[in-house]
């Protein structure tokens, strides 16, 4: 119930206004978001890379209202990728893109606009010498996102896609995408979905995640294990070993600000450990989903509210 309430709050303009005006909010958000500006995102990337971790940057901006705004988001990614190239960070940092931010939900030609903008971003990534991963949103976008990914992969075969283990369709999608050269990030899922399309209980979601991992680790693609769950991390390592995978043939991914000690441990053990690093002014929806995912995050936020004086 708490998770559902927080996810609902992530879409509420009234709650958004209250949270954004709460004085300590920005200090708390800094735990999960690198900052409002590009230079802050680049600076945080430099620190993570210096510690032995890799990065995928997300320019936050999901509520795109028109084609000009979508094009503006694509331009922001082009500037980001140019900065990664200029600073020499592109070898260790890629970008993650939500297609909704580049036009996918627009009522007229939304998919076409999103494809064109995503292509611009991929071209900029190729020029910088790095890659792009397409984030996945709620289940209504899955077919559209995978269709756009298929079209882009014709020219950019390194394009990564995200699959969400809690969706009942994901095992089949894993089988389709577990081929050579295919980069697939598998996560549990962060949206409130109906039971008809998604597993609801933690145990069922965990089992679905393991089934997806088995398929990806046994395949010939490049699995990206996005989880903070110690059990899932351990199982992923075991599956990689059983499938005789070299550490260079898969990676772990975690969110910025969550389990940093474990991130460092995995990196120091010789694994590829990539941090999902968001930045930008549209941080509210992302922040609320992080609170919904882990009770510890909410406790951290409420404690700050209680001691704000």
- Measured from the Cβ of residue 27, the count of other Cβ atoms closer than 10 Å reads 10
What does the angle CA 30 – CA 205 – CA 146 come to, to the nearest 5 degrees? 75
**185 included as an active-site residue:** yes
Element (H, E) at 177: helix 170-177
Spatial distance between the Cα atoms of 290 and 223, rounded to a whole number of angstroms? 23
Q: Rounded to the nearest 10 degrees, what angle do helices 202-218 and 170-177 cross at?
A: 10
Residue 85 assigned as binding residue: no
Quote the CA–CA distance of 241 and 238 in Å, as a whole number. Answer: 5
Q: Is 135 a catalytic residue?
A: yes
Whether 12 has a binding-site annotation, put simply, is no
Residue written as token pair 């990539």: 274
Task: Check the annotation: does 292 bind a ligand.
Answer: no
Contact 42, 84 (CB under 8 A): yes
DSSP 283: -
Which one of 53, 153, 185, 274 is the catalytic residue?
Answer: 185
Tell me if residue 208 falls in helix, strand or coil. Answer: helix
- Residue 184 CB contacts under 8 Å (≥ 6 apart), including other chains: 160, 161, 162, 163, 174, 177, 178, 216, 221, 222, 223, 224
Structure tokens at 208: 């679905």
Catalytic residue among 58, 92, 135, 206: 135
Reduced to 3 states, what is the DSSP secondary structure of residue 211?
A: helix
Q: Is 290 annotated as a binding residue?
A: yes
Q: Is 202 among the annotated ligand-binding positions?
A: yes
Cα distances from 114 to residues 64, 81, 99, 285, 309, in angstroms, run 11, 18, 6, 20, 45
Q: Which residues pair with 93 in a beta bridge?
A: 55
Bridge partner residues of 276 (DSSP): 56, 255
User: From CA 303, how far away is CA 305, in angstroms rounded?
Assistant: 5
Catalytic residue annotation: 135, 185
Binding-site positions read: 98, 136, 164, 188-190, 202, 227-228, 289-290
Binding-site positions for FAD read: 136, 164, 188-190, 202, 227-228
Binding-site positions for substrate read: 98, 289-290
């Amino acid at each position: 119930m708490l998770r559902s309430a927080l996810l609902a709050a992530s879409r509420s303009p009234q709650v958004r206004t209250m949270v954004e005006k709460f004085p300590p909010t920005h200090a708390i958000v800094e735990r999960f978001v690198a900052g409002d500006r590009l230079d802050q995102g680049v600076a945080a990337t430099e620190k993570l890379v210096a510690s032995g971790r890799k990065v995928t940057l997300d320019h936050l901006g999901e509520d795109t209202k028109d084609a000009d705004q979508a094009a503006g988001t694509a331009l922001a990614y082009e500037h980001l990728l140019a900065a990664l190239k200029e600073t020499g960070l592109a070898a260790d940092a890629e970008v993650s893109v939500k297609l909704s931010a580049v036009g996918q939900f627009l009522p007229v030609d939304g998919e076409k606009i999103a494809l064109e903008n995503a292509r611009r971003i991929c071209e900029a990534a190729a020029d910088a010498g790095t890659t792009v991963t397409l984030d996945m949103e709620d289940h209504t976008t899955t077919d559209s996102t995978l269709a756009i990914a298929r079209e882009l992969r014709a020219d950019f075969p390194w394009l990564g896609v995200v699959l969400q283990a809690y969706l009942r369709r994901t095992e089949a999608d894993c089988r389709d995408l577990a081929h050579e050269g295919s980069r697939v990030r598998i996560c549990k899922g962060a949206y409130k979905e109906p039971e008809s399309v998604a597993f609801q209980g933690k145990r069922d979601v965990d089992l679905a995640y393991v089934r997806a991992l088995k398929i990806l680790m046994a395949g010939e693609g490049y699995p990206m294990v996005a989880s903070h769950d110690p059990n899932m991390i351990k199982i992923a390592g075991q599956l990689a070993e059983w499938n005789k995978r070299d550490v260079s043939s898969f990676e772990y991914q975690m969110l910025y600000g969550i389990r940093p000690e474990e991130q460092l441990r995995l990196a120091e053990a010789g694994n590829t450990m990539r941090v999902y690093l968001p930045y930008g002014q549209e941080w509210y929806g992302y922040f609320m989903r992080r609170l919904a995912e882990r009770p510890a995050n909410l406790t951290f936020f409420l404690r700050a509210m209680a001691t704000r004086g």
